Amino acid sequence: MMYFDDRLYLIAGAALITIGLYALLAHRHFLRRILALNVMGSGVFMVLITYSARTAGSIPDPVPHAMVITGIVVSICATGLALVLAECVQALTGRTELSDERETSEHTGARPDTSDEQHQDQSP
């Protein structure tokens, strides 16, 4: 049976997951999306730790704790990789935000795919 403190951590973890998901969907900037993923990961870690505390008198299950420690290490590595990739994209394109396909073609001067038009022009 979970006590009030356990439920509080569970609610806080769910709130962090929700906030991170909203930020991931709402923002277009690379750095903000990377931070949103880190916030979501922290929420998942809190939920896992909460579920490891089953009863007040028993010893907590060590498997979720080991999963959280492993997850933290993987999260740090993934964040580092994402930051390096964001820096490479910024160096190549000069942009730090995602854009939709229409905006990209307008800025670069690229024409949209006209393969259908080419087939129509070649027919006798």
Per-position DSSP letters for 66-85, written without gaps between them: HHHHHHHHHHHHHHHHHHHH
Q: Residue 60 is part of a domain; what is its CATH number? A: 1.10.287.3510
Would you place residue 123 in the very low, low, confident or very high pLDDT band (cuts 50, 70, 90)? low
**Model pTM above 0.85:** no
Calculate the alpha carbon distances from 116 to 73, 79, 98, 113, 120 in Å.
49, 42, 28, 8, 6
- The 10s digit of each residue's pLDDT in 19-78 is 999 999 999 899 999 999 999 999 999 998 888 776 566 777 788 889 999 999 999 999
Query: How confident is the model at residue 17, as a pLDDT?
Result: 96
- Write out the residue range of the structural domain in which residue 59 sits: 8-100
Single out the residue of 64, 66, 72 nearest to residue 41, CA to CA. 72
The three-point CA angle 78-92-100 to 5° equals 80
The answer as to whether 86 is a domain residue is yes
Query: How confident is the model at residue 54, as a pLDDT?
Result: 62
The answer as to whether 119 is a domain residue is no
Strand, helix or coil for residue 97? strand
The number of distinct structural domains making up the chain is: 1
